[in-house]
A and B are shown apart, each in its own frame.
Chain A
Amino acid sequence: MTEVRFGQAINRALIDAMTQDSSVVLFGEDVAEAGGPFGVTRGLLKKFGGERVRDTPISEAAIVGAAVGAAMTGLRPVVEVMFMDFVTLTMDALVNQAAKARFMFGGQVSVPMVVRMPHGGGINAGPQHSQCLEAWLAHVPGLKVVCPSNVADAYALMRAAIDDDDPVIVIENKALYATKGDLPEPPPPVAIGQARTARTGKDVTIVTYGAMVAVSLAAADILAKEGVDAEVLDLRSLQPWDEAAVLESLARTHRLVVCHEAVEAFGVSAEIVARLADIGFDELDGPLVRVGAPFMPPPFAKSLEDWYRPDAGRIVAAVKRAIA
């Protein structure tokens, strides 16, 4: 068991995958010489050389497009989109190429590629460097989307993503990079699509992922003092998402809150509550309540960003509505 930072766990996962499989290559803006904007790829250039670890020009569309072609020609590329906000520039390669190649070519080929992209606020990066756009990607058949909340999952989900034969988007919350946690030795694997119970409880289920897991746990602590026992489910994977785990938890608590940092409207939570309103209807004893950012771009000023991002207080209030 070693205590490492979230970013170091991803770094370690990349090293282990690249050591094990020479077809794993890394490219993106400033991932080689500079070691990545958040230091996640530090040391990899020296370890694996300039052929496998490359700095690219500032060309997001070509970075992800090239990953598709490389994956179709025998490599397993791991590429980086420096901020998730820049995914807008890569959408053709992701949506029309990577996601569809296997299906539209009749199963002739897989596209085993990973696209890393940091999302989320908390560093006052403003409207174009703070967004959580995962719902866009989870909506596209053919893509998978994972979003770890802690060190062990950051390692395991990166390994699972690289091992996967399909295109996987790994979303890393920027606010988590500096957080620390234990990385067991050897790190246990996690299958994509499997949720984790972060806290057991019997009164209400809070479904969440990424940076909002810690915030939800803080909310659960507050609720515990008020006599409400909340269960917190960390989805880990958004596409596919662990419907069975959510239903199982709901069948015990009968109350559901879904929380994410992304804008609430049309978000991941909308899919989850819609699905549970269907398959979980008989289990429900209260309204399905969502917690997300307000319907507006992420603001820059600290006072505004702090207000914008969901916090424990908002989750507590949502739980109170769900159990009322």
Chain B
Amino acid sequence: MAVGQIKPSSAELLRLYADMRLIREVEQRLSLLFGDGEIPGFIHLSIGQEAVAVGVAGALRTDDTLASNHRGHGHAIAKGLDLSRFFLEIMGRSEGYCGGRGGSMHVADMSVGMLGANGIVGAGLPIAVGSALAHQLRKTGAIACVFFGDGALAEGVLHESFNMAALWRLPILFVCENNGWSEFSPAARQLATEPSKLAGTFEIPAERVDGNDIVAVRAAALSAIETVRAGGGPRLVECKTTRVRGHFEGDPQKYRDAGEFDEIGRKDPLTRAAGELRAMGVPDGEIATIDEVARRRVDEAVAVARAGTAPAPEAALADVYSPKSSRAPARADAAA
């Protein structure tokens, strides 16, 4: 499918809108829970970037693998993670995806190919390269996908990963979420080039799309995924998007101009998708129902998470090594 050629039906767009709304609802709730002290540690929200997660991760197969990053809640949900286990993990409960050992920066679900969020900028790239190598060798027909921000372009391992993927024509989709901010610094102070130009240096075909336009992102993703899956080698999709919240929750963002936020509001992917739905004749009530369903699902998941149990220290050492390990190194008395 060539980009922009096929406009989705209103039913399809409604579904995409619903997926984005769910992620927005999840993260707005995370923000509240964090503010109320119900979530310890750090969380990094992707509010404003939902179209990238839904447009790309939602276009992957379940057996396609995905390496995410620190701003990965949307990626995880779009890849099909269970909402309750997601909240359980982020709220540090033993029933969570990682037994409360990982938290927001390490949510993972191998059963749907989600290889994990990642606390290290750029670290998901070589992991996705290796995963793509496994797909290629095992002839699974699956592909690997990795999300990274524009900030990761400054990491050396990104260059190594682009090069290796291109040399070996690996089935991998690189997705750059270009929100213009590397933590607290603007791209102008961070990058001497642009993502698509850099990919071009390694002969990786790149497409740049408006990352807040769900229709454009999905079309670009579907086209790139089809090529990658067919053995066409790696592709990059650069999604120009907007980070609404701070680098982390609680970041007062004093480094940003107030005017930037007016512009961000106009670019909001949900507002835009809702506008398109209305233009297609979808009644407001139908959109409001979707919003309500998302709220209810999050309410339910949070209720489940609140009822979860704190992980017991007695079981903490269990997964440092595998059970099939020739011998677990942890000393018996270390657990006492």
Chain A residues near B (Cβ < 8 Å): 23, 25, 51-52, 54, 56-57, 59, 61-62, 64-75, 77, 92-93, 96-97, 101-110, 141-142, 144, 160, 163-166, 191-194, 239-241, 243
Contact = CB atoms under 8 A, between A and B. Distances in A.
Given A69-B129, A191-B327, A239-B329, A105 B106 contact: yes
A214 B178 CA distance: 57
Contacts of A108: 97-98, 108-111
A96 B120 contact: yes
B172 to A, nearest CB: 10
A107 B109 CA distance: 11
A109 B130 CA distance: 15
A109 B326 contact: no
Contacts of B130: 65-73, 75, 77
A103 to B, nearest CB: 5
Contact of A72 (B127, B319, B322, B325): B127
A193 B134 contact: no
Contact of A102 (B134, B138, B319): B319
Interface string B308-336: 00000000001111111111111100000
Interface in B69-113: 96-102, 106, 108-111
- 4 smallest CB-CB distances across A and B, nearest first, come from A65-B126, A69-B130, A240-B329, A66-B130
Given A142-B321, A163-B326, A191-B326, A74 B134 contact: yes
B137 interface: yes
Interface stretch (B44-52, B155-163, B267-275): B155-163
Given A164-B326, A243-B331, A75 B164 contact: no
Give the residue among B102, B110, B325 with the most A Cβ atoms within 10 A.
B325
Contacts of B326: 160, 163-164, 191-193
B101 A69 contact: no
B164 A96 contact: no
Interface residues of B, number: 56
A209 B318 CA distance: 29
Contact of B127 (A52, A66, A191): A66
B228 interface: no
A51 B144 contact: no
A241 B134 CA distance: 32
Which residue of B125, B133, B318 has the most chain A CB atoms within 10 A of its CB atom? B133
Most-contacted residue by chain A among B67, B97, B130 (CB, 10 A): B130
A62 B164 contact: yes
A140 B309 CA distance: 29
Given A107-B318, A107-B319, A165-B325, 5 more contacts: A69-B115, A75-B134, A75-B137, A102-B321, A106-B100
B98 A62 contact: no
B153 interface: no
B99 A107 contact: yes
B135 interface: yes
29 contacts: A57-B160, A59-B160, A59-B163, A65-B125, A65-B129, A66-B127, A66-B129, A66-B164, A69-B65, A69-B67, A70-B133, A71-B130, A73-B65, A73-B115, A73-B135, A74-B138, A75-B133, A75-B138, A92-B157, A103-B101, A103-B319, A104-B116, A105-B101, A107-B319, A109-B110, A141-B320, A193-B326, A194-B327, A240-B328
Contacts of A110: 322, 324
Interface in B131-151: 131-135, 137-138, 144
Given A74-B134, A108-B109, A193-B326, A69 B126 contact: yes
Contact of B134 (A69, A164, A165): A69
B127 to A, nearest CB: 4
Nearest to B127: A69
